[in-house]
Structure 1
Amino acid sequence: MDIKPLDRADLRHENGLDAQRLLPWPALNAPFEGSWCVIRPGTASTAHAHHEYEIFIALAGTAVLDSQGQRRPFVAGDIVHFPPHVEHRVINEGETDFEMYSVWWDQDMARRFLTRDGQDGPA
């Protein structure tokens, strides 16, 4: 077992939120990347779109998801999926931190994982 602890005192501010990336982590061989994210009260992540698939897992607090002209509540326990090239952002209109985990992946990440894992693809 290898645990990578969250360092709340040293979160990096990027994309309008505070985060700790899952990688690099030499012990982990995964076909995805991820990040612990905190959106402070009265702030929002930067609206963006990218080529990767992405899911957000809401862990604590309440927020609003803003994507493609829709605004939806996003609360602890919820999971949302964004296909590639769909703009999205998370807005914290509350008075406490909103915490979530973001996981993203694409075909290149999957191929690199299969190569590292000794599998070149389907048999």
Structure 2
Amino acid sequence: MRRLDPGELVRDSGLVARRLMPWPLVNAPFDGSWCVVQPGAASGTHAHREHEIWVAVSGEAEIVTDAGRLPFGAGDIVHFRPYEEHRLVNDGEVDFQFFAAWWDVEMAERYSARDEDAR
């Protein structure tokens, strides 16, 4: 088990986060972070070559994409395609917490190679 220590969260593009993956004990085909967007804050708009999902854990926020603004709350999950610009806005009064995971073909290939080496 790996426990989250809130003291390990660091500022990153308008939010605070802690990388949880990669984790040397786990061979996973993705990377991931625990993220917190504080009240009145927003993540920076960004896009990247990886697929990405966000799993909302607590609070309420809005996702902003070219398609507009969408409500995003605890229990929701969203997928962003490669190079799709996105950001998260927390206009609420409490922290918004979510888990982000991202992957691409190169990451999957590295996972497969590590898995083959472990046999």
With the shorter chain as reference, the TM-score category is over 0.9
Superposition map of 1:15-30 within 5 A: 15-30=13-28
Gaps of 5+ in 2: none
TM-score, normalization: structure 2?
Answer: 0.95
- Asked if structure 1 preserves the Cα contact closer than 8 Å seen for 2:63 and 2:88, the reply is yes
| Matching residue within 57, 62, 67 for 2:55 | 57
Alpha-carbon separation, structure 1, partners of 2:27 and 2:112? 9
Deviation at 1:61, TM superposition (A): 0.2
Alpha-carbon separation, structure 2, partners of 1:30 and 1:10? 22
State the secondary structure of the residue aligned to 2:48.
Answer: coil
Deviation string 1:6-60 (CA, Å, 9 cap, x unpaired) is 0101201111110010134210100000000000000000000000000000000
Gaps of 5+ in 1: none
Aligned CA-pair RMSD: 1.0
TM-score, normalization: structure 1?
Answer: 0.92
% of aligned pairs identical? Answer: 51
Partner of 2:80: 82
Number of residue pairs the alignment of both structures matches? 117
What amino acid maps onto 1:115 in structure 2?
Answer: A
